[in-house]
A and B are shown apart, each in its own frame.
Chain A
Amino acid sequence: METKTEKIEKTTDLTYLMELSDGNKTFVKEMINLFLSENPEEIRAFEKGIAEKNYKGIKTVAHKLRSTIPFIGLDKVIEKEVAEIEALASEMGDIKEIESRFLKIKSACEKAYIELNPVSSVIS
Chain B
Amino acid sequence: MLTDRVIPDEIKAKINILVVEDNLLGRKMIGFLLKKWGFRFDACANGKLALENLKLNKYDLILMDIQMPEMDGHETSKYIRDKLKLGLPIIAMTSNATEEERKRCLISGMVDYIAKPIVEEELYNLTVNYLFTTVVENPENQYQ
Contacts and interface: CB of A to CB of B under 8 A. Distances in A.
Physical interaction between A and B = yes
Contacts of A64: 22-23
Contacts of B22: 64
Given A66-B95, A71-B25, 7 more contacts: A16-B117, A20-B32, A20-B120, A30-B28, A38-B24, A60-B67, A68-B26
Instruction: Give the top 10 A-B pairs by smallest Cβ distance, nearest first.
Output: A70-B117, A67-B23, A66-B95, A63-B67, A34-B25, A71-B25, A67-B26, A68-B25, A27-B32, A20-B120
B94 to A, nearest CB: 10
Interface in A3-49: 16, 19-22, 24, 27, 30-31, 34-35, 38
Interface size class on chain B is 10 to 19
Interface of B: 22-26, 28-29, 32-33, 36, 67, 69, 95, 116-117, 120
23 contacts: A16-B117, A20-B29, A20-B33, A20-B120, A21-B32, A24-B32, A30-B28, A34-B24, A34-B25, A35-B25, A38-B25, A60-B67, A63-B67, A64-B22, A64-B23, A66-B95, A66-B116, A67-B23, A68-B25, A70-B116, A71-B25, A71-B29, A71-B117
Interface in A48-107: 60, 63-64, 66-68, 70-71, 75
B28 to A, nearest CB: 6
Contact of A34 (B28, B116, B117): B28
A31 B25 contact: yes
Contacts of A70: 116-117
Contact of B29 (A31, A38, A60, A66): A31
Nearest to A63: B67
Contact of B95 (A30, A31, A35, A67): A67
A43 to B, nearest CB: 15
